[in-house]
Amino acid sequence: MFGKRLTLFKLLGFEVRIDLSWIIILVLVVWSLATGLFPHYNPGLIRSAYWWMGVLGALGLFGSIVVHELCHSLVARRFGLPMRGITLFIFGGVAEMHEEPPSPKAEFFMAIAGPLASIAIGAIGFAVVGLGRGFALGATTIGVIQYLAGINLILAAFNLVPAFPLDGGRVLRAGLWQWKKNLRWATRVASGIGSGFGLFLIFFGILSFVFGSFIGGIWWFLIGMFLRSASQSSYQHMLVRRMLQGEPVRRFMKQPAITVKPDTTVEDFVDRYVYHHHYKMFPVAENGARPRCVTTRDVKDLDRGEWSNRTVGDIAKPCTNENTLRTDTDAVEALAAMRRSGNSRFVVLDENGSLAGILTVKDLLQFLSMKLDLEEGVAGKDIEKFVGT
């Protein structure tokens, strides 16, 4: 879902990050507020005032989304669900979960917490506007607060639409899950509704564009595309997690692993291992010792003229959490580690820290391809899209 992200700060133990796409929406919000909304509803002010109102309104929107997602995260923590943090991106924000909620009750309270926070912000904002007029608050201050109050109520209303993965769709899934006691079925139904709602927004955007609302039509179209894609991928990812959950990586790893001896020259390593097996990382091990790792990046950092007189042992580095798993690691956790690190090949160690095997994304894909084809009727060609690596 996300591209390059920047961590801004930590709030109550949660990292708050922005995807670089957020910069686009920030600029657009400031521009639209300063040149459109605020001059329309607050006429007669100087031009610089509108731009300051635009900046404050955009920052207030940023803060409102953070509070919305923070409430999701706090409730998730209350139910023991690990959270990766909060990320703001071009279509809003998301509280990133490591796994599915443990129960329908947890799902319901997590989902409803965000819209309730937005409703509270909106209600407080309108109360402040009412009191501010009595105490003669400035027009710029009242204008910004009124905008933030209104946009939070709109945010809450949109999120309560019962279209997964919107908050309302998660509330719907919680109800269906509680009714049928089947998370997979509940997710499939809620995701189907979310996909349909996304399609509706796409057509609405096209109609708006045709009838003259160019900017609005483009935004509705893009939001519909995003929602349709997110609803489908949410079900797919849940399905993959369910298929892999409880399966230790020892079931998928290749053994014995192809290893490189420390006294192998770098030149021989490139010719006999990299070009022959087409892997970017190999374990370096000998006589049962704890393995180290050598990668093609380590080779590129070495001057080409030294390949013939330097050994793999000279450039190999200790294996790290970025490329190492234990034999009893759950396959879902392994897949998450592959996504986080961007590595598709991991060294697998036994309980003594010795080399047990190698795990690759391909190993997981082969298992998923067979299991999904047999149990869900999903074609093998769709599995990579399901995994998302």
Evaluate whether 159 touches 121 at the Cβ level (below 8 Å).
Answer: no
pLDDT per residue as tens digits for the range 59-91: 998 889 888 888 888 888 888 877 777 777 666
User: 359: which DSSP letter?
Assistant: E
Evaluate whether 86 touches 96 at the Cβ level (below 8 Å).
Answer: yes
Has residue 221 got a pLDDT over 60?
Answer: yes
What is the mean pLDDT of the segment spanning 292-296? Answer: 87
What is the mean pLDDT of the segment spanning 117-146? Answer: 83
Q: What is the mean pLDDT of the chain?
A: 82
What is the mean pLDDT of the segment spanning 141-157? Answer: 90
* Residue 15: strand pairing partners: 10
Burial 210-239 (b: 16+ CB within 10 A, else e): eeeeeeebebbbebbbbbbebbbbbbbbbb
pLDDT per residue as tens digits for the range 29-59: 888 888 888 888 888 888 888 899 899 998 9
- Going by their DSSP bridges, the two strands 324-326 and 14-19 should be labelled as unpaired
What is the mean pLDDT of the segment spanning 305-310? Answer: 86
pLDDT of residue 153: 94
Question: Poorest-confidence range of 43-52, 91-100, 121-130, 286-295?
Answer: 91-100
Cα dihedral angle (55, 93, 232, 374), rounded to 10 degrees? 150
Has residue 388 got a pLDDT over 50?
Answer: no
pLDDT of residue 176: 93
Could you tell me the domains of the chain?
A: 5-244 (no CATH), 249-387 (3.10.580.10)
pLDDT per residue as tens digits for the range 318-360: 888 888 888 888 887 887 777 777 778 888 888 877 888 888 8
Question: Poorest-confidence range of 81-95, 110-124, 162-176, 278-292?
Answer: 81-95
186: three-class secondary structure by DSSP: helix
Sequence-distant (≥ 6) Cβ neighbours of residue 98 within 8 angstroms: 81, 82, 83, 84, 336
pLDDT per residue as tens digits for the range 233-242: 777 777 777 7
Burial 328-354 (b: 16+ CB within 10 A, else e): ebbbbbbbebbeeeebbbbbbbeeeee
pLDDT of residue 1: 47
